[in-house]
Structure 1
Amino acid sequence: MAAHIFRRFSSSAKDLRLGIINNVKIENVGGKFYSTAAEPAQSAVEAARTSIDNPASHTSDQIGLWYTLQPESVKHLFSYGGLPKTYVTNCKTFAETCLMVRQPAISCIDYIKRSDLTLPPNKFLLYGPEGVGKSLSLASIIKFLSDDGWLIVHLPWAVNWRRNFKEIVPSASVPGQYDHPVDATLWLQHFRNQNQTILKDEQLLTSESYVWSRRETTEAGSPLSSLVELGMARARFASDCIMALTSELKQLAINDRVKVAVVIDGINTLFVKESRFRREDRTYVEPQNFTIYKAFTSLLHSDWKNGVILGSLDYTANGPTRRDSHLPRYILGDKGWELLDPFVPIPVSNYDEIEMRSAVDYYLDRKWLQNPAAATDVGRKELAMLSGCNPYSFMTVARSI
């Protein structure tokens, strides 16, 4: 019977004491009994959470649970990127930043723990279809690396330096090379922000002297942070400072002064053949001629130790003509495959049943899903069907419910 439509109703005293019969609410109005369909009681749904916010302590028993990144950790690690923009928008709405414990991050962290740092860096590549959570898995791993005392070289989305760059100018130091003055400066700020504690280590000193101009030099034995500060203060030298920084980091790692983690989201973009920047003759510049690409690519070689290399493979980081598969061999191409091989492939997939239920519970807990039907078994199945259990698709579907 529809709500708000009343009818005359007779009932026994026992029925009246119960108050509700078969989802029908009994009301006494002026000595006459009327009924209306009773609204089902809605119990608050709470997200399944874990109080353990250190990814190093997460196990397979906690898959599907949510853990909170403290605001200071978010500011420290992800102020300049690392979390997808749509996810950051949701986090602001939810007034918290939470990540789900998932198997890819657990596996990768376990591999890092068991790596022999006296050997060349192990390489771990996350791969999977679009929207399955590769970037957020990397975020969990970055949190672990920071807590574990690694110096982090993090490229949140290197694709932007090839497609959506702010400024590109010919290099003043290497003919034929091109610099990103603004982008390089912003990355140095990101690097300093993530590693501000480690950079205070007095053992981290430069091994070479660098001449930037007639008046500006960095002497051998200077603090490593001086390279960072110079690049931030002088955008003109920022790209060359990154080149010097990556070289010094490899040498420091070889000398057992620091352990370095290279983390690149969309690592395959380093091997794409074209950029959107044109020379004066209107020909496109190959990304391999970008100073910062050359600097970070040097860290992917196996000629150093005390390091690990992590990356995500994303077909959207490739050119428009190479997006037919998400599998590593296809995405990397010949050049990327030759440089990164051997590596450990770590698949990232859509939510399983437990993870999907946990995701719905979290959105209900945050009042993002307002429709009461979303909490029912039928509603959950519909959400799973509409999104295909894809994390990004589910986030998109949930916006309108």
Structure 2
Amino acid sequence: MQRKVYFGKVSPQYPFSLIRPGSERFNFLNNKRSMLLLPLVFLFIAWVFHAGMSYSDEIKTIDGAVLTGEIINVAAESISLRTTDGTVSDLPLKDVGLVSRGSEICIINRDGKKFSVLRIPKPANFSMNDIVSTKTDALTLQDLGTSTANVVAKASAPETKATSGQPPVSGGDKIVQAEAATVTAPPRTWKGNIDAGVNTKDGNTESTTTHIKGGYANERKRDNIYFDAIALYETVTNNDTDVDEETVNEQRATGKYEYKHSPRLYSFFNQYFEHDELESLNYRSISSPGAGYRFIDKERLKYKAEAGPAYTYERFHGGIIDDYMGLRVGQYLDWLFWKDTKFYAKSEFVESIEDTKDWRVDTGLGVRHNLTKSIAVSLEFLDQYDNTPAEGKEKEDRTFIGSVGYNF
């Protein structure tokens, strides 16, 4: 059965839907030109980032003032900060309470004129407003999770008596020792999410669209592990026969392992699976090793590209099999452009080395916003273009989906 194209308005009662537009307004994504869209987006966002809109370093003084910019130098008694307007300020270390940079929070402890730094992992969705700083040098972290909630630096405390011939230890030293035991536990390296969406229509057209997707990432010191999957399903009721007809029935999954040879250079193995009943595709498997490089690896902006050989194996209904060796090129972007909102994009190109006309491009663009630490909403556009589709099938397959998700 040939895939039908449906496009409808989103019902206010069911705001999250799967839509397959077929109008001429989307023709700019046809053919290999869709490969150029994502690099242009990457270049624009990189320009915005370097123009000064993505400063992520924060300094909070003991008076409670928060300064945002880029730390360019740390000396014995001062910190140099370039603010968003381009000016550089030198802050005396005696006026600094704590520093938020990268994946760490640095708390400045004071003992007379001596300074020490207590480093702790930065929790997700961290804000300087979560920390109370006073002129009495007491720093209290609030609502940052069990691993850091008990970290308190006291200015002074009474000394305890010596026992068993040991020298006296001040109560403040005991607190610092307890802090070290609390914050040295390794932070959690993995995270994931599960999203779903349902939309129903009744009236002239009766249809039900559902989808579920999930993702998992474990980013460690020497290697990374990724997994994501999505299942799409749609039925439309034929009003003449009152029979439900499938218009979408496909599932996709990707697993990936990356080994870091340096902070930016890595090798990888990527495995992709796909099933599409409407395209008469039992399964498609694309196995690809290769090498990649992280061109931008900031806290709020990440961009990497990779390439390598790829082996594609396809099995269609009726026992038809197609397999070939080829080349795979991928590029990926993550941009946290707002505190709780992230833009993400990917583009993967696979071409046969035996027949250069046999190529495909998978593109995805999305925005995800965290309503709370656990609940998120997202909008995503998926585009698959197969230059040599199965007989009677269309080359391009476009999907818009909206989801409500759970972060874990």
Which category of TM-score, normalised to the shorter sequence, fits these structures?
Answer: under 0.3
TM-score (normalizing by structure 1) = 0.23
Higher relative contact order (CA 8 A, sep 6+): 1
Structure with the bigger percentage of helix: 1
